[in-house]
Structure 1
Amino acid sequence: AISHLPLLAASALALVAAQEGEGNPNVALLAAGGFRDTTRVAAGPPWLGADMVTENRTEIKRLAALFTETLLAMADAPAPELEAMLKAAAEARRTVAGGAERRG
C-alpha cells in the first residue's frame, strides 16, 4: 500500500491547487516544476487508481492517517525542528528510493 499512497497524495495536491486556483490566476503561475513532478502520478488512469485504493483500503487509510499526522507535525514545527525533519526526509528518500531503483 505504500506504493499507492503517492497517487492519493499527488491527487489531493492537484485538487487543493485547483480549489486554490479558482479565481486566483497566480496559483497556475506559481505551480512550477516541483508541482508538476509531485503530481505526475495523478495524471494516470483513474480506473487503475480506484482499483488500487479499493483493493487496499484498510492499509491505505492507516498510511494516509500517518501521512496526515506527519504533514501537520511538519507544518507546526519550529524552524530547527522542521529542518531536522526535512533532513531526515531526504535521507529516507535516498534509502527507500534507492531500494526501489534496485528492484526497478
Structure 2
Amino acid sequence: NGADEKEVSNRLKTIFGIHSFSPALKAELVQENIDDAALWAVKDALPNEKGTFKVTVKRPNKDYPGRSQELNYHIGSHILRNTKELTVDVHNPDVEVKVEIRHEAAYI
C-alpha cells in the first residue's frame, strides 16, 4: 500500500504471535499485469539479474484461463525474455516467485 517494505518487515518481526509473513504485490487479473509484477519481483530480489528462479502458480480462481503449469511456463518465459543472465532452476532456485490467482486479484 505504498509503505516502505523494509520498515514494515522490521516492525512485524517484533510482534508476538506472527509466525511468518511475505511481502506481496497485487496485480489486476490481466496476464500482462501479472507478468510485469512477477518480473518486477524477480528484479527486486536479484537486482544484478544474475542467479536462478522458479515460478509457482496457485490458481484458487479456476475461472482464470490456463492451467497452473501453463502459467508457470508463461510467466517464467516473460521473466527470461526480459532479464540478462537469469536461468530457471526448479529444484534449488535462488528466488521462488509465487503467484496466487484469486477471484479479486493476483498476488505475487
What range describes the TM-score normalised by the shorter chain of this pair?
A: under 0.3
The structure whose residues are more often helix, as a share, is: 1
Query: TM-score of the superposition, structure 1-length normalised?
Result: 0.28
Give the number of the structure whose alpha-carbon radius of gyration is greater.
Answer: 1
The structure whose residues are more often strand, as a share, is: 2
